[in-house]
């Protein structure tokens, strides 16, 4: 197993150990000075991985595309309308996504991406491996935010 996938799986395991421990009643509290909630950050981890990995290989099929309107950068829980994914739905999606990513990208790490993503200032993701590293880093950032939110809402 490629070291990038090992780190992704470690990160995802950490997220999936943490999220079930949080009472769902806390998932929608938005503390002062926080732009979003626990539910938003958990969903954001999922949709950003879907988007970045679809750009890495456009044959990677996006699951739950309707979630993008809820959880992409710039969205806010205060603007949500309609059905919002439950805690259980988000955790199940993250669990399934990990397996799907591991299976789909096996042996493809050195492949050039279908669509180069510019992260700002000319830093680009040119290979599947670089895209996986970004997704892993991004999830780690949001796991830290989730832990901070948990402390803030208690």
Give me 145's structure tokens.
């935010």
Cβ proximity of 112 and 126 under 8 Å:
yes
Range of the structural domain that residue 24 is part of: 3-153
Query: What's the confidence (pLDDT) of residue 120?
Result: 84
Q: Which two tokens stand for residue 139?
A: 């999830």
| Domain CATH for 100 | 1.20.120.450
Domain count, the chain: 1
In this predicted model, what pLDDT tens digit does every residue of 29-88 receive, in sequence order? 999 999 999 999 999 999 999 999 999 999 999 999 999 999 999 999 999 998 999 999
Spatial distance between the Cα atoms of 87 and 92, rounded to a whole number of angstroms: 9
Q: Would you say the pTM of this structure is higher than 0.75?
A: yes
Q: Is the predicted pLDDT of residue 133 greater than 70, yes or no?
A: yes
Residues 17-30: what's their mean pLDDT? Answer: 96
């Amino acid at each position: 197993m490629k070291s990038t996938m090992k780190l992704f799986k470690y990160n995802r395991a950490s997220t999936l150990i943490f999220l079930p421990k949080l009472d769902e009643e806390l998932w929608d509290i938005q503390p002062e000075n926080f732009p979003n909630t626990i539910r938003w950050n958990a969903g954001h981890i999922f949709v950003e991985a879907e988007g970045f990995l679809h750009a890495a290989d456009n044959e990677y099929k996006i699951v739950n595309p309707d979630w993008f309107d809820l959880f992409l950068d710039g969205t806010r829980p205060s603007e949500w309308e309609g059905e919002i994914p439950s805690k259980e739905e988000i955790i199940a999606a993250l669990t399934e996504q990990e397996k799907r990513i591991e299976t789909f990208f096996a042996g493809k790490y050195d492949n050039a991406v279908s669509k180069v993503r510019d992260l700002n200032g000319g830093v680009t993701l040119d290979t599947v491996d670089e895209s996986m590293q970004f997704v892993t880093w991004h999830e780690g950032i949001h796991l830290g935010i989730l832990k901070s939110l948990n402390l803030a809402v208690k």
